[in-house]
Structure 1
C-alpha cells in the first residue's frame, strides 16, 4: 500500500492538538489563545477519522480493483501488534504508580476492564487509571477496529463495485450510528448521585456517559471509512493532483476550525447534536479534508514535512504518555499543576515544554525498543511500513 498523502501531517496535528489542550487546562488564564487551545480536544475525533480511513483504505483498494481482500486474521494481528504492547505498558505503569501514590477506587476491576478494552462501557471503569485519563479512548478505538470488517465485509465481498454504492452503504451505517447514539442516551442515562467532576474522575465519567458511547465514535470512524472509499475510487480513475483539492482542503479545515472556536463546549456534548467533539459534523469535515489533502498539489506537501512525519510516527506513544508525565510532575514537584492551577503562566509554559520533551523521549524509546520490533514481526518483514 502506498502512502496516503497528507495523512502524516493530519495525524501530527491531531497529536499536537490533544497535547496543547491538556497543557492549556493547567493554566489559570482566560487569554483568548489559551481558551482557543482548549479546542484541541477535537484532535481525538480526528484520530478516529484517520484510523477509519487508514484501516479501510486497503479493503477499498482491493474491492474496487476486484482483487483479493486483506485477510481478517492479518488485519487483527497487525492491529493487536500496534495497540497492545504500548498500551499495556503505559496502563500497567499508570496503575502501579497510582497504587504507590494514592490507591484508586475499584483498582482491580478498572485494570481488568482496561486490559480487556471494555473500560469505556461503564462509568466506574471508563478511566482505567486516575492519573492517565486519555487511556479511555483506546477501548472505543479497539471496538471500532472490530466493527469495521463486520459492518463493511458484506459490501466488500460483492463482485460489483461503484463509488455510489460505497458512499450509500457508508452513509446508511452513519445514520444507523446516529440513531443508536440517541437510543443509548435515552435508555442509559446515568443518575445524579455522585455525578460531575467535583466528585472525582469516576464522577466525571458518569457525567460523560452515556454521551461518549461507541455509536457516536463509530460514526466518527465511519467518516474516515467513507473518505477512504473516495480516495481509492479516484485513484483507480487515475485522478491527478489539482489545486482545487487544495481549496477544498482549506475550506474544510477552515470551517472545522471555525466550528471548534464558536460552537465547542470543552468536555461537554454539543447542545444541538448531543455528541462529543461536535460529531458527526466535525468528523465529516475532517473526512473531506483528508480526501482533499491526498489529491492536493501543495497542502499535502506542507503537511508531510519531516517534522510532522516524525511526530506522526510517535503520536500514539505521545498520546499515551503525556498525561501521566503531567500528573507525575503534579504529584512529585508542583502541587498546583492541576486543572487551572497555574497562576504563574510563564512557569506553566516552562513545565509544558518539559512535558513535551519528556513525552517525545519516552514515546521514542517505546516505539523503537518495543513497538517497532513487534510491528516488524507482525508484518512479516524487516522493513516496517508506516504505521496506522
Structure 2
C-alpha cells in the first residue's frame, strides 16, 4: 500500500485547527456587517458612510465562506474511504447532520419567534431594517419549520434573517449523498463544481424568484469538497497559496471600488469569492498537513480565534436578532449617527457575540459530534466536524 493509499484509508483523520479561526473571522465579519446595516433607520448608514460601506458590505461574503468550509470538513472523512463511501450509509449521514444542525437552528428560531410574539414593541420596526423580520405569518413559520423559507421572498427574512442560509445548507446536505457524490464517482470534482455553479446560475436567469436561496452555493460546497479530496491525496498545486492571495486582493479591490454596481450580482461575485477561498483553503490545509506552518496558519490558530470558532454556529444563529432588537431599543435615543454606529459596533455586537455563548452551552454543545466534544476538553481545540 502506498503512502497516499494509507493516508486515504487510515483510521486517523487530520486536524486542521486553523479552520476554527476561519469560522471565527467569518462569524465576526457577518456580525459587524449586520450591525452596520441595522444601525439607525433603514439605509441610514449606507447613505451616510458610503466609503466605509464599500468595505463593510463585503461581510456578506462570509456566508459563501461558511459553505466552502462545510464542503471541506464533510468531505475529509469521505475522501479517505474507497469509493467515497459514507460511514454508516445514507441514514447515518442524515442522522449525524440533522443532529448537529437542527437543534440549535430550531432553538434560535423558536426563541426569537416567542420573544417577538410576546413583546408588542418588537413587532414595530419603527423605520429600521427590523421591518424585514416582521410581520410574522403562519406560512412563514411553517416554511421555517420545514426549512424551505429560503425559497420565497416573503418568508426569507422573517424572525431571523440569517436562517435562510441554514435552509440552503441543509438542502445541499441532502444533495451531497444523493447527487453530488454519485456524480463525483463518475465524473470527478471539477465537473461537479461546474454543474453546481451553472445550476444556480440557470435558476438565477430562468427563475430569479429563487435567488434568495443562492443555489450557486452548490458549486462552492463542491469546491470545498475538492479541496478536501486533494489535501487527502497529498496533491501539490504549485503557487496555490500566492495565486489565492493575489485573487483575494484583486477581488477585494474590485468589490470596494464597484461595490454598488456589483452587489446586486451576488450570483457572480459570491462564486468568485468562494472559488478563490477554496484554493486558499487547499493551500493552508496542504501546508498544515505537511507540517509547513506559516504566519497565516499560526494567526488563525490563536487561542482566542479557535475558541470563538468553536461556537461560531451559535453566533451565526443568534447575533442578528440580538443586534436588530438592540437597535430598535436605541432608535428613540437622540445621538449622532457616528456615535450610534460606534455603540452598535463596540458595545452591542460584542455583547451579542458573548450572549451567543449561552445557547452554545445550553443547546449546541449537547449536539456537537463526538470528535468535537473530545476536542473541547483539550487545550488546543480542533476544527474537524
Normalization by structure 1: what TM-score?
Answer: 0.78
Map Cα deviations across residues 326-384 of structure 1 (whole Å, 9 max, x no partner): 222133333479xxxx84313321232222332222221111222112325x7797666
Aligned residue number for residue 251 of structure 1? 246
After TM superposition, give the deviation of residue 30 of structure 1 in Å: 2.1
CA distance in 2, matches of 1:67, 1:146: 16
Compared with structure 1, are the counterparts of its residues 151 and 52 closer, same or farther at alpha carbon in structure 2 (3 Å cutoff)?
A: same
Q: How does 1:226-305 map to 2 (within 5 A)?
A: 226-234=226-234, 246-265=241-260, 268-270=263-265, 275-276=266-267, 278-296=269-287, 297-298=293-294, 299-305=296-302
Q: How does 1:8-23 map to 2 (within 5 A)?
A: 8-23=20-35
Compared with structure 1, are the counterparts of its residues 40 and 308 closer, same or farther at alpha carbon in structure 2 (3 Å cutoff)?
A: same
Answer yes or no: is the 8 Å Cα contact 2:241–2:280 preserved in 1. Answer: no
CA distance in 2, matches of 1:35, 1:86: 32
After TM superposition, give the deviation of residue 96 of structure 1 in Å: 1.9
Compared with structure 1, are the counterparts of its residues 303 and 219 closer, same or farther at alpha carbon in structure 2 (3 Å cutoff)?
A: same
Aligned residue number for residue 44 of structure 1? 63
SS of the residue corresponding to residue 279 of structure 1 reads: helix
After TM superposition, give the deviation of residue 41 of structure 1 in Å: 0.8
Answer yes or no: is the 8 Å Cα contact 1:86–1:317 preserved in 2. Answer: yes
Considering only aligned residues, what root-mean-square deviation do their CA atoms show, in Å? 3.0
* Residue among 112, 123, 132 paired with 2:153: 123
Map Cα deviations across residues 190-239 of structure 1 (whole Å, 9 max, x no partner): xxxxxxxxxxxxxxxxxxx33233531212212211211111111xx6x7
Answer yes or no: is the 8 Å Cα contact 2:197–2:218 preserved in 1. Answer: no
SS of the residue corresponding to residue 342 of structure 2 reads: helix
Map Cα deviations across residues 264-316 of structure 1 (whole Å, 9 max, x no partner): 4489432xxxx447132211101001001113331212211111111211211
Kindly report structure 1 stretches of 4+ aligned residues shifted beyond 6 Å: 378-383
Compared with structure 1, are the counterparts of its residues 91 and 48 closer, same or farther at alpha carbon in structure 2 (3 Å cutoff)?
A: same
Compared with structure 1, are the counterparts of its residues 214 and 33 closer, same or farther at alpha carbon in structure 2 (3 Å cutoff)?
A: closer
CA distance in 2, matches of 1:180, 1:243: 30
Compared with structure 1, are the counterparts of its residues 229 and 279 closer, same or farther at alpha carbon in structure 2 (3 Å cutoff)?
A: same
Aligned residue number for residue 4 of structure 2? none
1:353 aligns with 2:360: no
CA distance in 2, matches of 1:10, 1:45: 12
Unaligned runs of 5+ in 2: 1-12, 40-44, 125-133, 288-292, 377-381
Aligned residue number for residue 144 of structure 1? 172
CA distance in 1, matches of 2:267, 2:238: 33
Compared with structure 1, are the counterparts of its residues 187 and 152 closer, same or farther at alpha carbon in structure 2 (3 Å cutoff)?
A: closer
After TM superposition, give the deviation of residue 245 of structure 1 in Å: 5.7
CA distance in 2, matches of 1:344, 1:251: 36
Aligned residue number for residue 332 of structure 1? 329
Aligned residue number for residue 363 of structure 2? 370
Aligned residue number for residue 318 of structure 1? 315
Compared with structure 1, are the counterparts of its residues 252 and 307 closer, same or farther at alpha carbon in structure 2 (3 Å cutoff)?
A: farther
SS of the residue corresponding to residue 290 of structure 1 reads: helix
CA distance in 2, matches of 1:67, 1:44: 26
Normalization by structure 2: what TM-score?
Answer: 0.78
CA distance in 2, matches of 1:228, 1:325: 35
Aligned residue number for residue 112 of structure 1? 142
After TM superposition, give the deviation of residue 386 of structure 1 in Å: 4.2
Aligned residues: 342
Answer yes or no: is the 8 Å Cα contact 2:18–2:306 preserved in 1. Answer: no
Answer yes or no: is the 8 Å Cα contact 2:65–2:277 preserved in 1. Answer: yes
Aligned residue number for residue 154 of structure 1? 182
Compared with structure 1, are the counterparts of its residues 375 and 6 closer, same or farther at alpha carbon in structure 2 (3 Å cutoff)?
A: closer
CA distance in 1, matches of 2:325, 2:383: 31
